[in-house]
Amino acid sequence: MPQARELPGFYYDPEKRRYFPIKGPIPGSSSKVKTPILKSPQTPSNQLQERSESCCRKASKLLQARELDGNHVTSHHCKRNFTEEFRKIQASQPVVWKYKGTNRIGISALEHLHVDVQTPEGQCETDVLLTGSVNGSLSFSDVGRVGHYLDGGVTGVKWMPDCVKNYAKGKTVEHNEVPGPLFRPNGASLHISSRISCIRLGPKCSSLAVNDGPVVGNALFTTLGSETSGGSVYTLGLVEPLDLGFGILNTWSRLEEIASFKCTLWTAEYDYNRHRAIIGTNRGGASVDLETGMTSWFLHCRSDVFAQQIVNSGNVVLCGLRNGAIVNVDFREKRERLSSRLITHRIPYTSSEKNAGGSNKEWFKLTGAIYPSQTIRMPSSISCLVSLQFDDQYFLASSMDGSMRLYDRRLLQRGAVQSYVGHMNSHTHIQLGVDPAERFVMSGGEDCYLRLWSIKSGELLFEDKFSDSVLSTVCYQTCTSSFKAEVENQYKRGSSLGAWLGSQEGLYYMHWL
């Protein structure tokens, strides 16, 4: 009787004279049966440890890949820059500090300054936080030089940083660079009529350069307005050394109200080229001469201007409206425009917008020197606009439905260049924060999480909740102002990148090693 031929995956039954499939492990494979591993519920501390260990494994693999492949490493069948990938890992491992006692400030605007100050021991350089609050107070707080004031008998409030989250693997609080304490001398706060809606820093004075760079010439800020009065535009001179001690009245004497309005002032930008304030209101956009106070309206519309951003060329301002439109407006004053009326444009609604609003209107009106072909729409009210410095054609935009996008002004009709997923918003003005090197963008959310994305790739690099209120304001430090704790209450300048975060709950500082 002829022998049955062997077939891979089958066996021959001589009695039944037929082949049957082998129901079992394929010959040559492992005979061990893999049992599912049941994971125990993770606590926040376990999640933090797992994230840190994952980042360390990524960094280790990245270093190994660089040793094998050079500066470019291969990932998912494509080559990436080693430095860029390593910085992403660093961005995902910040250290977060909260300043105890700041929970009643109610921060609505925030800027970091490097200025000269007058102390009882003489003139010196220091870092200062200029904060505006929802109750209308404008305040200075000195960073890290508490002893210079206390020794001279000046009293005030001192806030110490407390580490609330440490995502850096292998770094303890004692070894981390620690932000200096904040000290607000008595009298360093001034109450104004209504909520501080915006703070912008003026051009820097290179002739008064200090070790860390030129000092800021002055500051521009606006008030929102109230039920009984409109908002106002103010300036505060910062060229001369600030006196935050017994001579605090000399500092506040430099405060000047430039113009007041019978409308709401939502936002403002500083026009460096012409020494003007560009304001966004519930009536449109206007230009205010900071020397004379004269106002010139360059945009009239029935939709509030919630956000603005001057393009680096200095001729065009992006205006983000309540109805979700982003318009490009030429805000330069032209002689022929002074004797003629602004041109009225019709901007068509999309079909989805008409259906959502329940309106039969086909268009809305804008009056001004706008570029209709460069008008785009986002799904909801514009929350923030940020123009990138490396190329003034690119800008970031966020809307109140949680959309975040990167646009190229040369390709607006083709849609967004990049989108950023995960942002949570529905009705809140939330500021976007872009680091000085313009690699990352961060934002708080209505779920009280803070998120950070890669601008270039759109990758979400970090998200976590360490605040019980929305982190709505953010500013990066303008110089190296972090400190390293060597012994108790002793601080030394460091070189880490840091950002200040403000909310109704208080003030936070986040830095990366």
Write out pLDDT tens, residues 43-86: 545 554 555 555 555 555 544 444 444 454 455 545 567 778 88
Give the per-residue pLDDT at 216.
61
Give the pLDDT confidence of 177-213 residue by residue, as tens digits. Answer: 678 899 998 899 999 989 999 999 988 654 444 445 5
Backbone φ and ψ of 331, nearest 5°: -100, 10
pLDDT of residue 283: 94
Per-residue model confidence (pLDDT) at position 65: 47
What is the share, in percent, of the chain residues with pLDDT greater than 90? 47
Q: Where are the beta strands (DSSP E) in 261-371?
A: 265-271, 276-281, 284-289, 295-301, 305-310, 316-321, 325-330, 344-348, 363-368
Give 257's pLDDT tier (boundaries 50, 70, 90). very high
Helix, strand, coil shares of the chain as percentages rounded to 5? 15, 45, 40
pLDDT at 97 over 50: yes
Residue 448 has a pLDDT of 96
Q: ∠ CA 107-483-468 to the nearest 5 degrees?
A: 30
Structure tokens at 64: 């190994």
Question: Which of 78-82, 248-252, 373-377 bottoms out in mean pLDDT, i.e. has the lowest?
Answer: 78-82
Weakest mean pLDDT among 109-113, 405-409, 482-486: 482-486
Confidence band, pLDDT 50/70/90 cuts, at residue 7: low
Burial class for 268, CB neighbours closer than 10 Å (0-12, 13-18, 19+)? buried
Backbone angles phi, psi at 161, to 5 degrees: -80, 140
Tell me the C-alpha to C-alpha distance, in Å, between residue 239 and each of 26, 242, 454, 475, 503.
81, 8, 36, 21, 29
3-state secondary structure of 305: strand
pLDDT at res. 11: 64
- Domains in the chain: ranges and CATH: 95-512 (2.130.10.10)
Distance between CA atoms of 170 and 234, rounded to whole angstroms?
47
pLDDT of residue 488 exceeding 70: no
Confidence band (pLDDT; 50, 70, 90) for 363? Answer: confident
Per the model's pLDDT, the better-predicted residue between 409 and 76 turns out to be 409
> Residue 338's pLDDT is what?
44
Residue 458 exposure: Cα atoms within 13 Å on the Cβ side: 13
- pLDDT band per the 50, 70, 90 thresholds, residue 334: low
Tokens of 372: 């209709």
Describe the crossing of helices 44-69 and 82-91 by its angle, rounded to 10 degrees. 170
Which residue intervals of 141-206 are DSSP H helices?
A: 146-150
To the question of pTM greater than 0.85 for the whole model, the response is: no
Q: So what's the pLDDT on residue 62?
A: 46
